[in-house]
């Protein structure tokens, strides 16, 4: 894409927006960077970028190209823009190496980081970026053999030519319906990761997911199924703790699978990552050596404190009902559950039904607290607290030795916090502030 002397409007100045503004400037574009937040809330922009801050966005029709940040909804620009290109699209055009793109509802960040680690164990220069908190454009020009990108439904809404060599779809449960409005629209956004693949590319799809057929039907590349609880007739799965790969009529290949994180969701991430590495053509026998040493990411079923025989587990990244349900199902110990937040238009009934069978008590926070309280009526006792700190103190008072206090909100954090990371940090700090609380010596309880 030739951007020299093009007039570019960047909408939203978070990490990806600032990265896109800088990159477009370096390509010779005339860049206007817009954010409706006041200037004192925005990090400095590079010289040469024209700021448009603290006021409504300018008219997209006045620009040759609009580069929206993922958080800016398409209705804010689509009807007026001459051309739209998100930062993932820009990176896809600029990167000179193959791309492995990972999407799905839950497990994206963990799987993305794990794929990068496995590729490095196989001797390849690989780095992860995208929705993991590192802008995709930051990988352009770096000495790499492969780029591993986490891509969200928001990012995929604005792609037109993005073509990953390997595309991974982990799982689909309803999410972000406040943005996409229907599950079908959400799925359609996810399907765009497959739209530009060609016959020699790979679509790595979850054979156990109810949406498998919907993605397999639109795949233009070669479909590689994976199954974390069994062995598909074709694809990648597990057999007696061994990773097995079956392709066409070739003999099955077996690999060591020393994966130490508990939970079916963790196992699914690891099998999906292994399938992606195999599809890329890396040496899987070497790549699986990264599995036992892989450290879980923060705020994903992370054990953050122990006090009086009670474990405090931070799964703040469980920002939708499906993720929280997995967290509840992944524990075999009695649970005091901290949940709530902004529901994003999602139905919490199934999550509450799962919770009724698995928890001893619930401590509810945020906008969704009344909805969850009604859904849990007649089941385990519930309390509503005004803050995460009050919720932790209440949960600690309810817990008995051997219990787990689990933060798995099932909702967005944006009603009370800047992001899920702040929610998780405040949960951890409140747990550690309890009398006699100590940070656990083992790194974490697992990851999603």
> What single-letter DSSP state applies at residue 438?
B
Query: Is 280 marked active-site?
Result: no
Q: Are 447 and 297 in contact (CB under 8 A)?
A: yes
152 Cβ contact list (under 8 Å, min separation 6): 70, 103, 108, 131
- Describe the crossing of helices 321-329 and 349-358 by its angle, rounded to 10 degrees: 10
**Between the CA of residue 62 and those of 8, 32, 34, 65, what are the distances in Å?**
9, 11, 13, 9
Q: CA–CA separation, 215 vs 188, rounded Å?
A: 9
Tens digit of each residue's pLDDT (9 = 90 or more) over 352-367: 999 999 999 999 999 9
331 Cβ contact list (under 8 Å, min separation 6): 358, 404, 406
Tokens of 294: 């892989």
Q: What are phi and psi of 411, to 5 degrees?
A: -145, 160
Q: In what order do the strands lie in the sheet containing 50-53?
A: 50-53, 30-35, 7-11, 65-68
Tens digit of each residue's pLDDT (9 = 90 or more) over 201-237: 999 999 999 999 999 999 999 999 999 998 888 999 9
pLDDT above 70 covers what percent of the chain? Answer: 97
Angle subtended at Cα 284 by Cα 233 and Cα 97, rounded to the nearest 5 degrees: 110
Tokens of 88: 């993932």
Average pLDDT over residues 417-433: 96
Which of 160-164, 292-296, 348-352, 362-366 is the least confident region?
Answer: 292-296
Does residue 174 sit in helix, strand or coil?
coil
Q: CA–CA separation, 68 vs 90, rounded Å?
A: 11
Residue 444's pLDDT is what? 38
Phi-psi region of 54 (alpha: psi -120 to 50; beta: other; left: phi over 0): left
Strands 7-11 and 202-206: unpaired
Indicate which residue of 106, 131, 171, 266 is catalytic.
Answer: 131
> Is 446 a residue whose pLDDT tops 80?
no
Indicate which residue of 106, 171, 176, 320 is catalytic.
Answer: 176
Query: Is 344 marked active-site?
Result: no
More confident residue, 263 or 400: 400
**Cα dihedral: 14, 18, 21, 24 (round 10):** -110
Q: What are phi and psi of 51, to 5 degrees?
A: -80, 145
Indicate which residue of 106, 108, 266, 320 is catalytic.
Answer: 108
Domain 302-433 annotated CATH 3.90.190.20: yes
Query: For residues 367-395, b (16+ Cβ closer than 10 Å) or e, as one string?
Result: ebbebbbebbeeebebbbbeebeebbbbb
Which residues of the chain does CATH 3.90.190.20 include? 302-433
Tens digit of each residue's pLDDT (9 = 90 or more) over 304-316: 999 989 999 999 9
> What single-letter DSSP state applies at residue 192?
G
More confident residue, 308 or 81: 81
44 Cβ contact list (under 8 Å, min separation 6): none
Residue 1's pLDDT is what? 82
Residue 448's pLDDT is what? 33
Q: What are phi and psi of 423, to 5 degrees?
A: -60, -45
- The CATH homologous superfamily for domain 88-290 is Mur-like, catalytic domain (3.40.1190.10)
Which of the four pLDDT bands, split at 50, 70 and 90, describes residue 437? low
Tokens of 124: 């390849």
Q: Are 212 and 206 in contact (CB under 8 A)?
A: yes
Tokens of 254: 């077996």
Query: Is 320 marked active-site?
Result: no
Write the DSSP assignment of 376-412 as a string of letters. TTTSS-EEE-SSHHHHHHHHHHH--TT-EEEE--SSB
Write the DSSP assignment of 280-342 as a string of letters. HT--HHHHGGGTTTPPPPTTSSEEEEEETTEEEEE-TT--SHHHHHHHHHT--S-EEEEEESB
Residue 435's pLDDT is what? 64
- The CATH homologous superfamily for domain 7-85 is NAD(P)-binding Rossmann-like Domain (3.40.50.720)
Q: Are 434 and 396 in contact (CB under 8 A)?
A: yes
Which residues of the chain does CATH 3.40.50.720 include? 7-85
Q: Are 437 and 399 in contact (CB under 8 A)?
A: no
Tens digit of each residue's pLDDT (9 = 90 or more) over 176-208: 989 999 999 999 999 999 999 999 999 999 999
Q: Are 138 and 129 in contact (CB under 8 A)?
A: yes
Q: CA–CA separation, 36 vs 370, rounded Å?
A: 32
Average pLDDT over residues 99-111: 97
């Amino acid at each position: 894409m030739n951007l020299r002397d093009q007039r570019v409007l960047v909408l939203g100045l978070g990490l990806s927006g600032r990265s896109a503004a800088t990159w477009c400037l370096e390509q010779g574009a005339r860049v206007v960077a817009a954010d409706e937040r006041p200037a004192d809330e925005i990090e400095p922009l590079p010289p040469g970028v024209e700021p448009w801050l603290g006021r409504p966005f300018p008219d997209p029709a006045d620009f040759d190209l609009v580069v929206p940040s993922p958080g800016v909804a398409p209705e804010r620009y689509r009807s007026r823009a001459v051309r739209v290109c998100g930062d993932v699209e820009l990176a896809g055009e600029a990167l000179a190496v193959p791309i492995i793109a990972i999407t799905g509802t839950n497990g994206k960040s963990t799987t993305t980081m794990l794929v990068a680690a496995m590729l490095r164990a196989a001797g390849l220069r690989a780095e992860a970026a995208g929705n993991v908190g590192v802008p995709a454009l930051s990988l352009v020009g770096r000495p790499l053999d492969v780029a591993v990108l986490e891509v969200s439904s928001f990012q995929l809404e604005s792609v037109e030519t993005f073509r990953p060599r390997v595309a991974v779809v982990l799982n689909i449960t309803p999410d972000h319906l406040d943005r996409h409005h229907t599950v079908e629209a959400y799925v359609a956004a996810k399907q765009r990761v497959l739209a530009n693949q060609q016959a020699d590319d790979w679509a790595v799809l979850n054979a156990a997911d109810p949406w498998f057929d919907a993605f397999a039907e639109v795949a233009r590349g070669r479909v590689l199924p994976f199954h974390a609880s069994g062995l598909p007739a074709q694809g990648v799965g597990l057999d007696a703790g061994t990773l097995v790969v079956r392709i066409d009529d070739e003999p099955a290949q077996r690999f060591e699978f020393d994966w130490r994180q508990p939970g079916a969701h963790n196992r699914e991430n690891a099998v999906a990552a292994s399938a992606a590495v195999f599809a890329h053509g890396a040496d899987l026998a070497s790549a699986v050596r990264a599995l036992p040493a892989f450290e879980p990411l923060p705020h994903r079923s992370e054990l953050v404190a122990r006090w009086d025989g009670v474990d405090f587990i931070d799964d703040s990244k469980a920002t939708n009902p499906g993720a929280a349900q997995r967290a509840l199902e992944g524990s075999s110990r009695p649970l005091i559950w901290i949940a709530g937040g902004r529901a994003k238009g999602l139905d919490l009934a199934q999550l509450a039904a799962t919770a009724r069978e698995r928890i001893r008590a619930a401590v509810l926070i945020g906008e969704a607290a009344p909805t969850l309280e009604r859904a849990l009526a007649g089941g385990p006792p519930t309390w509503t607290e005004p803050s995460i700190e009050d919720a932790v103190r209440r949960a600690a008072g309810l817990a008995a030795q051997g219990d787990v206090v689990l933060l798995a909100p099932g909702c967005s954090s944006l009603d009370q916090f800047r992001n899920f990371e702040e929610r998780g940090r405040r949960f951890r700090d409140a747990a550690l502030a309890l009398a006699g609380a100590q940070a656990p010596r083992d790194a974490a309880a697992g990851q999603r």
